[in-house]
Structure 1
């Protein structure tokens, strides 16, 4: 994987976790406004969306017959369009139960380290065959890391908006 891809992922993850840490324990499980997730639910959704990524990256692959980042622009256009509300797939919907902030942060930090360490060792041009997205199909390792980076940026912005609403 390229150093640029790794650094973009690290920066997005750092910003997400920094924003998550601004919420106190009470705010962490508080719905800020009707129709919103709590900060805990955003964290849970993000964790669930990344928990299987190391296995996808190290699973069955094949050589790509396209540029390793061919889908990056489309991925960015989807996730970085903050005016469009996206619907989460059911399997990564967050828990409705209150969550422990310290435990969530610890789990997230561990998973982020695992993803970063896994990605550094791999060829970004390989297509991951063990998981396909509904519309886009299979992605290269480079595209997967870009997907997670853009998804993280999107939800960092969501946390910023939640914090702003809670501060009013």
Structure 2
């Protein structure tokens, strides 16, 4: 199970970093179309959304009394349905500051290292009690990591769309 989770982390974040690295620095903060975030804002948002996992697993956990992966597929199906537009929670909204592409990639690499470490050193079947996912409640470490990768995949898709718009 741990090897599968780590492979998913490497693949998902590797592809995300590859897409972010395709942008020229001059394109990172360009709004590609009305109502869109910039590539820098998307990368900042996903960085905020994926950070904090080491702190979360260090918090309260308990033995899970259901299948450790029961909520993984429903969350994945929801987040990878690109016809649905989500409203970001305030705590992971991006800012309107200037974004340095290299800093964004360094931040994503750091998160990848942290998540790989979490997957390696923890019992992935434990339930995380310090965070509840709206409509899903508490998640196991496995489900949270899987959700995070679906979130990364969703925004990789968004970044590919932004890139195509800026580089016709």
TM bin (shorter chain): over 0.9
Partner of residue 18, structure 2: 18
Partner of residue 9, structure 1: 9
Tell me if structure 2 keeps the 8 A contact 1:57–1:119. no
Partner of residue 151, structure 1: 151
Query: 1:58 offset after TM fit, Å?
Result: 2.7
Deviates more, 1:66-75 or 1:129-138: 129-138
Partner of residue 78, structure 2: 78
- TM-score where L is the length of structure 1: 0.96
Partner of residue 62, structure 1: 62
Distance 1:47 1:71 in 2: 23
Cα RMSD, aligned residues only: 1.0
State the Cα deviation string for residues 79-113 of structure 1 (Å, max 9, x = none). 11011111111110001111111112112211211
State the Cα deviation string for residues 39-95 of structure 1 (Å, max 9, x = none). 100010001101111211232100001111000111111111011111111110001
Deviates more, 1:85-94 or 1:98-107: 98-107
- TM-score where L is the length of structure 2: 0.96
Partner of residue 28, structure 2: 28
Distance 2:100 2:167 in 1: 21
Partner of residue 115, structure 1: 115
Question: Aligned residues, how many?
Answer: 168
Partner of residue 135, structure 1: 135
Distance 2:50 2:166 in 1: 27
1:98 matched to 2:98: yes
Distance 1:143 1:39 in 2: 27
Deviates more, 1:16-25 or 1:127-136: 127-136
Query: 1:2 offset after TM fit, Å?
Result: 2.2
Segments ≥4 residues shifted beyond 3 Å: none
Partner of residue 45, structure 1: 45
Gaps of 5+ in 1: none
Gaps of 5+ in 2: none
Distance 1:71 1:14 in 2: 24
